[in-house]
Amino acid sequence: MIKGFKDNLAEQRERLKISEQIVNNRIHNSPFGEKTKALTRKWSQYESFGGVGWGVFEITPVIERAEGAYLYDADGKEYIDLLSGFSVSALGGCNKEITKIIQDQAGKLTHFFDLPHVERVKLAEKLTKLSRIKEKTRVAFGVTGSDAIELAVRAARYYTGQPYIFTAYGDYHGLTYGTMGLTGKGCLD
Ligand SMILES: Cc1ncc(COP(=O)(O)O)c(C=O)c1O
């Protein structure tokens, strides 16, 4: 018998479901040092299992600091970060030049509601030029990946006039209300 959408979804939900016992076993059997294990235990007590970490990975270390492509956990164990960060910030950890720019800006202006400020105007111009879109274009800022996905869905619907968006089983597109409808992992225990 061919499995339908509902069966696949139920199977996937079951696979991604995490209990306290599963989490405790994973921590117990993890290859980390004692400080890292204690922090992972604390993490599991205070943060929802619905985040990316528990659903996608068996267990992850608790990182304390970074130097370029190297990461160090709470016990000082060294790891190589083959992504050198993640998605939009794949710039390595604590790059000296970037750290200086962040420190300087933190001393000038850190947050200004949703209104223009000097760096925002400069960044909008820079991103628009980097996009290489020939027609007149503008940038829309967001603060999360989910924002970006929701904007992409809205743009796709606007330009195609079609309502449907296809996604794959086991996918991850974010945890906002809009992206939850596209994300396979639906467990927020
Ligand atoms: C592929 C993908 N899409 C969307 C998101 C959602 O991003 P955010 O958690 O910033 O909303 C992530 C975040 O990990 C992601 O990896």
Domain ranges of the chain: 61-109
To the nearest whole number, what is the mean pLDDT of the chain?
89
Atom of ligand 1 nearest to the CA of 146: 11
Atom of ligand 1 nearest to the CA of 145: 7
Q: Could you give the percent of the chain with pLDDT greater than 70? A: 96
pLDDT digits (tens, 9 = 90+) for 130-183: 998 999 999 999 889 999 999 999 999 999 999 999 988 778 888 888 998 887
DSSP per residue, the chain: ----HHHHHHHHHHHH---HHHHHHHHHT----HHHHHHHHHHHHHS-TTSHHHHH-S----EEEEEBTEEEETT--EEE-TTSS-GGG-S-BT-HHHHHHHHHHHTT-S-BTBS--HHHHHHHHHHHHHT---S-------SSHHHHHHHHHHHHHHHH--------TT----SSHHHHTT-S-----
Atom of ligand 1 nearest to the CA of 174: 6
For ligand 1, the distance from its centroid to the CA atom of residue 34, given in whole angstroms, is: 30
pLDDT band at residue 185 using 50, 70 and 90 as cut-offs: low
What's the pLDDT score for residue 171? 80
Pocket around ligand 1: residues whose beta carbon is below 6 Å from it?
A: 52, 144-146, 149, 172-174
Q: Are 85 and 113 in contact (CB under 8 A)?
A: no
Calculate the dihedral angle through the C-alpha atoms of 107, 108, 113, 118, rounding to the nearest 10 degrees: -150
For ligand 1, the distance from its centroid to the CA atom of residue 149, given in whole angstroms, is: 8
- Whole-model pTM: value is 0.76
Residue nearest to atom 8 of ligand 1 (CA): 145
What's the pLDDT score for residue 116? 94
For ligand 1, the distance from its centroid to the CA atom of residue 1, given in whole angstroms, is: 35
